[in-house]
Amino acid sequence: MNNALVHKRWTLRVFALLSAALMLCLMPFSNSANAHGSTINPASRNYQCYRDWGNDHLNPSMAQQDPMCWQAWQANPNAMWNWNGLYQNNVGGNHQGKVPNGTLCSGGHAESGRYDALDTPGAWRTTSVGSSFTVQLYDQASHGADYFQVYVTRQGFNPDTERLGWDDLQLVTTTGRYGPSQNYSIPVSGVTGRSGHHVVFTVWQASHMDQVYYLCSDVRF
Cα–Cα distances (Å) from 216 to 59, 104, 124, 176, 194, in that order, read 25, 8, 11, 21, 17
55 shares a domain with 73:
yes
115 shares a domain with 130:
yes
Q: What percent of the chain has pLDDT over 70?
A: 84
Q: Which residue has the higher pLDDT, 169 or 9?
A: 169
DSSP for the chain reads --HHHHHHHHHHHHHHHHHHHHHHHHS-GGGGGTT-EEEEETBBHHHHHHHHHTTSTT-TTHHHH-HHHHHHHHH-THHHHTTT--EEE--TT-HHHHS-TT-GGGTTTHHHHTTGGGG--S----EE--SSEEEEEEETT---EEEEEEEEEPTT--TTT----GGGEEEEEE---B-S-SEEEEEE----S--SEEEEEEEEEESSSSEEEEEEEEEE-
96 shares a domain with 24:
no
The domain in which residue 49 lies consists of: 34-220
Give the pTM. 0.84
Instruction: State pLDDT tens for residues 128-170.
Output: 999 999 999 999 889 999 999 999 999 999 999 999 999 999 9
Instruction: State pLDDT tens for residues 167-184.
Output: 999 999 999 999 999 999
71 shares a domain with 20:
no
Q: What is the mean pLDDT of residues 5-9?
A: 44
111 shares a domain with 86:
yes
Q: What is the mean pLDDT of residues 92-121?
A: 97
| Number of compact structural domains in the chain | 2
81 shares a domain with 26:
no
Our measurement of the distance from residue 128's CA atom to the centroid of its chain's CA atoms, rounded to an integer in Å, reads 19
